[in-house]
Chains A and B, each alone.
Chain A
Amino acid sequence: MVSVTAADAAAPAELGRRLAELGFLPGEAVRIVARGMMARAPIAVRIGTGTFALRLFEAACIRVCPEQPQPA
């Protein structure tokens, strides 16, 4: 589960909005597909059915929490 918040106060507000537009929205599942060679950046993130490459400061704007077990 994921929620998008502007974690970095210096990050422009439009960054959070753009991430939301790409689908980084509360309740969506995310998974890291790949990480870069140097400093393990950038990262490739699966959100829903799409995959996006994000720089670390972009990924830092996304809050995630471990997936809750679905009630049966």
Chain B
Amino acid sequence: MEALPSAPSPLIALVGNPNCGKTALFNILTGSRQKVANYAGVTVERKEGSLLTPSGLRVRILDLPGAYSLDPLTPDEQVTADVLLGRRTGETQPDFVVCVTDATNLRQNLRLVLSLKRLGLPMVVALNMSDIARRKGIVIDAERLAAELGVPVVETIGVKATGVRALIKVLDGLAIPGRARQAAAWRTPSASDIEHDQSEVRRILGLVGGDRLDGVTISDRVDAVVLHPVFGPLILAGILFLVFQAVFAWAQVPMDAIRFGVAAFGHWLGAALPESLLKGLLINGVLAGVGSVLVFLPQIIILFFFILMLEDSGYLPRAAFLLDRVMGSVGLSGRAFIPLLSSFACAIPGIMATRTIQNPRDRLATIMIAPLMTCSARLPVYALIIGAFIPQRTLWGGLELQGVVLFGLYIVGVASAMAVAFVLKRSGRGTGFQALMLELPAYHWPNLRSLGIGLWQRVEIFMSRVGTIILALMVILWALSSFPAPPPGAAGPPIQYSIAGHLGAWLAVLFAPIGFNWQISIALVPGLAAREVAVGALGTVYALSATGDDVSGALTPLIAHSWSLPTAFSLLAWYVFAPQCLSTLATVKRETNSWRYPIIMAAYLFGLAYAGSWITYRVAVALLS
């Protein structure tokens, strides 16, 4: 059909059970790069894209959070139900539904299809992951299924461009009924409705095949080891340990290369440029600041390589299973595990992922402790201090001491999160039930293409932060640290007479009890915008305090000489709690729809950080004196 230019583009919604591959289909159809992973609840909000069909029809495609039913229990399922029922303000009801099913799990997925049929929207059923089904020997008579359901059925492979041809053909031939369609009266299904649906599903599956109830699958065999009461936790600990070892061991060469490159560029620039204000800005502001953050790119890439591998393989929900008792003992919902794990990348997606938690109180508790998970922006700070103060030594069993210390810092973060959760639980009124009910998906090999895309996205995010926010803050910090110029004949580095110098001196009074000097105190301020900026800020501040021109890339030996060990430990402790991340606080405000919780969060994290650093500093001073 020929679309009239004035006709509104039909709106097509992708609906289905969690983890059936809706977002992978969405990405292929629209050319988007939304996050996909092998666990339920990756998509927590509606995402829109568009597709131009071969005949020139422009359709809008909506990716919705996965749902087990249209009767929502969690905030993410609520989005799906509201959109489908046309109840979401500012959004029209979709014109057409693509009901995405996991072809290897139809017994579970077809119930939602029957529910959606009752909704009365025109639809097509996509048998997704049809390649995996075929490999498992599951044969589904798609024509018969279409006849039984009374709607078209197509096979799809969400990870291949050629896997969506049949679906695009259906969408291409869409005759969209007028918008004045009557929404079918929707009634929440009762228990007997669900049972009735299930017997209908069994009847249909009996006719079309695809109901091979595997005895013991490969995933079961893997689980027999991975979920084993003794080996399971050992494997989990081993994996985590490997990650932190690799972050230091594998990153050494590329980090040295970047450091060398930045230093060489600095020397070249220093020799090529005439003495001027611009030279100062470029070398002491931009290069010293940005360069000292850039060095940590290899470590970030290694960390995300492991995170993406774990996400894609299906291991994450197993880790949630293994640690569920620990989570439960401090009153956290089992569902909290995955949002908390996402927070190791960044607290912001972690806080958004709490939408999969049903109970509002459990959800709030999870949001409040998410910033205690060590986000990747803290890695540069840790790595800088560890690199400067912890000797490169191999312990028994070939373990790197630096990796062990880093692992320890992550553990301290997790332990304090558990402690805070425990306090929240104690102070809460009436505990109620904290649900788990977490699907353990079949394992699959991580897809190299999506692993590559995922890593590249992290590089882009990191580089764009370096190129925008960090660069801008470095320029501002350089200006504040360079003006006003020192009075003639003044002794000491010029920065002490600048605005930043005065601010630092004032802040140092506040932070002296926990061992921070004025350089650290200044660096904490731009660190509010993004934690890794603190590293860049230290680079700039020290470059400007240095007397010689021995600057860019040499931050590590500089702080190793000028900080005492207690100061270094104190700063590490500060960053375990690190209250300063404005974007996280803004996300909490948005997700809780109130100023109350971001304020409480900032206050309690600041209190913990100050107390933690004070104790660390005092104990370290007492032990080392």
Interface residues of A, Cβ cutoff 8 Å to B: 11-12, 14-23, 25-29, 33-42, 44, 46, 48-55, 57-58
Which listed residue, B107, B325, B433, touches A37 by the CB 8 Å rule?
B325
CA distance A28 to B432 in the complex (A): 29
Which listed residue, A46, A48, A55, touches B334 by the CB 8 Å rule?
A55
> Are A18 and B438 in contact, CB atoms less than 8 angstroms apart?
no
CA distance A48 to B211 in the complex (A): 9
With contact pairs A17-B71, A44-B223 given, residues A50 and B229 touching in the complex (Cβ less than 8 Å): no
With contact pairs A17-B71, A37-B230 given, residues A55 and B324 touching in the complex (Cβ less than 8 Å): yes
> Are A42 and B334 in contact, CB atoms less than 8 angstroms apart?
yes
Nearest Cβ distance between residue A25 and chain B, in whole angstroms? Answer: 5
> Are B435 and A34 in contact, CB atoms less than 8 angstroms apart?
no
Residues of B within 8 A of A16 (CB): 191
> Are B325 and A39 in contact, CB atoms less than 8 angstroms apart?
yes
Which listed residue, A21, A27, A37, A40, touches B233 by the CB 8 Å rule?
A37
Interface residues of B, Cβ cutoff 8 Å to A: 68-69, 71, 73, 104-108, 111, 191, 194-195, 198-199, 202, 213-214, 219-220, 223-224, 227-230, 232-233, 317, 320-322, 324-325, 328, 334, 432-441
> Are A49 and B436 in contact, CB atoms less than 8 angstroms apart?
no
Which listed residue, A15, A22, A53, A57, touches B321 by the CB 8 Å rule?
A53
CA distance A15 to B73 in the complex (A): 10
Residues of A within 8 A of B195 (CB): 20, 25-26
Give A13's nearest chain B residue, CB to CB.
B191
> Are A21 and B439 in contact, CB atoms less than 8 angstroms apart?
no
> Are A53 and B223 in contact, CB atoms less than 8 angstroms apart?
no
> Are A50 and B105 in contact, CB atoms less than 8 angstroms apart?
yes
Nearest Cβ distance between residue B67 and chain A, in whole angstroms? Answer: 9
Nearest Cβ distance between residue A28 and chain B, in whole angstroms? Answer: 7
> Are A14 and B439 in contact, CB atoms less than 8 angstroms apart?
no
Residues of A within 8 A of B321 (CB): 34, 36, 42, 44, 53
> Are B104 and A49 in contact, CB atoms less than 8 angstroms apart?
yes
> What are 23 A-B residue pairs whose CB atoms fall within 8 Å in the complex?
A15-B435, A18-B73, A20-B191, A20-B195, A22-B108, A27-B202, A33-B223, A36-B229, A37-B232, A38-B325, A42-B436, A44-B223, A48-B105, A48-B107, A48-B213, A49-B104, A49-B105, A50-B107, A51-B439, A51-B440, A51-B441, A53-B320, A53-B321
Interface hub of A39, A44, A57, A58 (most chain B Cβ within 10 A): A44
Return the 8 tightest CB-CB contacts between A and B, nearest first.
A34-B227, A48-B107, A37-B229, A51-B440, A21-B68, A55-B436, A53-B321, A53-B438
CA distance A58 to B199 in the complex (A): 23
CA distance A54 to B230 in the complex (A): 19
CA distance A11 to B437 in the complex (A): 14
Nearest Cβ distance between residue B340 and chain A, in whole angstroms? Answer: 16
Residues of A within 8 A of B104 (CB): 49
CA distance A40 to B104 in the complex (A): 29
Nearest Cβ distance between residue A42 and chain B, in whole angstroms? Answer: 5
Nearest Cβ distance between residue B579 and chain A, in whole angstroms? Answer: 33
Q: Is the interface of B mostly helix, strand, loop or mixed?
A: helix
Residues of A within 8 A of B223 (CB): 33-34, 44, 51
Which listed residue, B107, B232, B328, B440, touches A55 by the CB 8 Å rule?
B328
Residues of A within 8 A of B441 (CB): 51
CA distance A52 to B39 in the complex (A): 12
Residues of A within 8 A of B436 (CB): 42, 53-55, 58
With contact pairs A21-B69, A29-B213 given, residues A42 and B325 touching in the complex (Cβ less than 8 Å): yes
CA distance A33 to B232 in the complex (A): 13
> Are B324 and A53 in contact, CB atoms less than 8 angstroms apart?
yes
> Are A41 and B325 in contact, CB atoms less than 8 angstroms apart?
yes
Which listed residue, B107, B194, B433, touches A15 by the CB 8 Å rule?
B433
CA distance A25 to B69 in the complex (A): 14
Give B436's nearest chain A residue, CB to CB.
A55
Residues of A within 8 A of B322 (CB): 36-37
Interface hub of B68, B104, B433, B439 (most chain A Cβ within 10 A): B433
Give B197's nearest chain A residue, CB to CB.
A25
CA distance A51 to B442 in the complex (A): 8
CA distance A14 to B440 in the complex (A): 21
Given contacts A33-B220, A34-B227, A48-B107, 7 further A-B contacts (CB under 8 A): A18-B68, A25-B195, A37-B233, A38-B325, A41-B324, A49-B108, A52-B437
Residues of B within 8 A of A48 (CB): 105, 107-108, 213
> Are B191 and A44 in contact, CB atoms less than 8 angstroms apart?
no
With contact pairs A26-B195, A36-B321 given, residues A18 and B435 touching in the complex (Cβ less than 8 Å): yes
CA distance A51 to B434 in the complex (A): 19
CA distance A35 to B223 in the complex (A): 11
> Are B191 and A49 in contact, CB atoms less than 8 angstroms apart?
no
Which listed residue, A20, A29, A33, touches B194 by the CB 8 Å rule?
A20
CA distance A16 to B65 in the complex (A): 22
CA distance A52 to B111 in the complex (A): 17
CA distance A44 to B213 in the complex (A): 17
Residues of B within 8 A of A37 (CB): 229-230, 232-233, 322, 325
CA distance A51 to B226 in the complex (A): 14
Nearest Cβ distance between residue A29 and chain B, in whole angstroms? Answer: 7
CA distance A3 to B69 in the complex (A): 19
> Are B198 and A25 in contact, CB atoms less than 8 angstroms apart?
yes
With contact pairs A21-B69, A22-B68, A25-B194 given, residues A50 and B439 touching in the complex (Cβ less than 8 Å): yes
Nearest Cβ distance between residue A71 and chain B, in whole angstroms? Answer: 15
> Are B324 and A42 in contact, CB atoms less than 8 angstroms apart?
yes
> Are B199 and A27 in contact, CB atoms less than 8 angstroms apart?
yes
Nearest Cβ distance between residue B283 and chain A, in whole angstroms? Answer: 55
